[in-house]
Homo-oligomer: A and B are copies of this chain.
Amino acid sequence: AEVKKIAVIAGDGIGPEVVGEAIKVLKKTEELFGYKFELEHGLFGGIAIDEKGTPLPQETLDICQRADAVLLGAVGGPKWDNNSKELRPETGLLGIRKALGLFSNIRPAVVFDCLKDASTLKPEVLEGTDLIVVRELTGGIYFGEKFRREGAGGQEAIDTCVYNVQEIERIVRQGFEIAQKRRKKLASVDKANVLETSRLWRETVNKIAPEYPDVELEHVLVDNCAMQLLRRPSSFDVIVTENMFGDILSDEAAMLTGSIGMLSSASLGEGSFGLYEPVHGSAPDIAGQGISNPIATILSVALMFQLTFGYAEAAEVIERAVKQVLDAGHRTGDIAVDKSQAIGTTAMGDLIVAAM
């Protein structure tokens, strides 16, 4: 088989632990399917700040750029929270997205049967919830000009939100295309009653919509969407939105499933290249104890197989193995009802590998 290069960025907190288990799963698929992966490890985030003086060393970027896909653990922690902007893990995250052209963040929010009760929503409301938030990732207010100046009301801070038609078109098309392969419903979220960028967003969506006549389109204002996600989560299929709205709504959507420790995500650019990571963060409070849940990272490998490598069968084998282990009652502490029965990170990884 063709050798696939994967850049592995373990990052901070529980990142290295969960990535370790995901690598075991990768190796197992080499054995089962004859794939060949070449892994190159890079420093990123807080650990890169500590060891290299920058959250995103050029060397790490080089490793990612010559890879076919990136597997990322998690970055950040209180240790670096009060650093200046250039020395913060988040700055590295924004930088890597921009440098790799990852304009689209795909966040599936699905309910795992065995975790239904973990949600704060009523089970009958949650029933059938299976949605994807498609978030624009390299534009908007995160990347616009930012500065301070003196004004009449004291110091003044400014952030600029910018979108052009091209940026909107490519992410909206992706929303439509993902919807076409699913339940054919797209909710486009904006604040077109107030913002100019949102009005351009909505105009662009309406311009493109006729190319996807089979997809049912609805425009939802962001404040209303924050409500509707709570009121009727199962009625959403694909939600497409700009960077900041996507940040907020994808986290809300993830939390309402009750399955946040299990959710994976993909950040994509043009072509098949992608960066894959669990939705959960670096969880510095439990790092190094060997109790973190590796499932979201393992499922990120499955997502990588689907979206970057086209290894659909192996992706399914991974997903089935996860399901089987959960169905057999095995739980890490975060998802265990009876915490005394919880198993550790390595044990969970081993069980999943064995079930493959």
Q: Could you tell me the distance in whole angstroms from the C-beta of A55 to the nearest C-beta in chain B?
A: 12
Would B160 and A158 count as touching, CB distance under 8 A?
Answer: yes
Of A19-27, A164-172, A328-336, the stretch lying at the interface with chain B is A164-172
The residue that A142 contacts in the complex, of B153, B159, B194, with Cβ under 8 A, is B194
The residue that A255 contacts in the complex, of B200, B230, B244, B260, with Cβ under 8 A, is B230
How many Å lie between the Cα of A222 and that of B250 in the bound state? 12
Asked if A286 is at the interface (CB within 8 A of a chain B CB), the reply is no
How many Å lie between the Cα of A88 and that of B192 in the bound state? 11
Asked if A66 is at the interface (CB within 8 A of a chain B CB), the reply is no
Asked if A62 is at the interface (CB within 8 A of a chain B CB), the reply is no
User: Digit string of A238-261 for contact with B (CB within 8 Å is 1, else 0)?
Assistant: 000000100111011011100010
Asked if A120 is at the interface (CB within 8 A of a chain B CB), the reply is yes
- Chain A, interface size: which category? 35 or more
Would B251 and A158 count as touching, CB distance under 8 A?
Answer: no
Using Cβ atoms and an 8 Å threshold, which residues of chain B touch A227? 251-252, 254-255, 260
User: Digit string of A191-214 for contact with B (CB within 8 Å is 1, else 0)?
Assistant: 101111101110000000000000
How many Å lie between the Cα of A147 and that of B197 in the bound state? 9
How many Å lie between the Cα of A165 and that of B150 in the bound state? 10
Would B90 and A158 count as touching, CB distance under 8 A?
Answer: no
Asked if A125 is at the interface (CB within 8 A of a chain B CB), the reply is yes
User: Digit string of A213-246 for contact with B (CB within 8 Å is 1, else 0)?
Assistant: 0000000001110110011000000000000100
Q: Could you tell me the distance in whole angstroms from the C-beta of A126 to the nearest C-beta in chain B?
A: 9
Would B166 and A162 count as touching, CB distance under 8 A?
Answer: no
Would A161 and B164 count as touching, CB distance under 8 A?
Answer: no
How many Å lie between the Cα of A104 and that of B31 in the bound state? 62
Asked if A326 is at the interface (CB within 8 A of a chain B CB), the reply is no
How many Å lie between the Cα of A251 and that of B153 in the bound state? 29
Question: Within the oligomer, what is the number of copies of this chain?
Answer: 2
Using Cβ atoms and an 8 Å threshold, which residues of chain B touch A164? 151-157
The residue that A252 contacts in the complex, of B122, B200, B252, with Cβ under 8 A, is B252
How many Å lie between the Cα of A199 and that of B82 in the bound state? 11
Would A194 and B90 count as touching, CB distance under 8 A?
Answer: yes
How many Å lie between the Cα of A231 and that of B252 in the bound state? 10
Would B194 and A94 count as touching, CB distance under 8 A?
Answer: yes
Which residues from 110 to 156 on chain A have a C-beta closer than 8 Å to any C-beta of chain B? Answer: 120-122, 125, 141-142, 144, 146-148, 151-156
**Extra pairs beyond A157-B196, A230-B252 (19, CB < 8 Å):** A121-B122, A122-B122, A141-B161, A144-B158, A146-B196, A148-B196, A153-B166, A153-B167, A154-B165, A155-B200, A157-B199, A157-B201, A158-B196, A159-B196, A223-B247, A226-B251, A227-B252, A227-B254, A230-B256
* 10 closest A-B pairs by CB: A154-B165, A153-B166, A153-B164, A157-B200, A146-B196, A227-B255, A226-B252, A156-B164, A120-B125, A223-B251
Q: Could you list 14 A-B pairs, sorted by A, with CB under 8 Å?
A: A120-B122, A141-B161, A144-B158, A146-B195, A154-B166, A157-B162, A157-B163, A157-B197, A157-B201, A158-B162, A158-B197, A160-B160, A226-B252, A231-B255
Q: Please report A residues at the B interface, Cβ cutoff 8 Å.
A: 88, 90, 94, 120-122, 125, 141-142, 144, 146-148, 151-167, 191, 193-197, 199-201, 222-224, 226-227, 230-231, 244, 247-249, 251-252, 254-256, 260
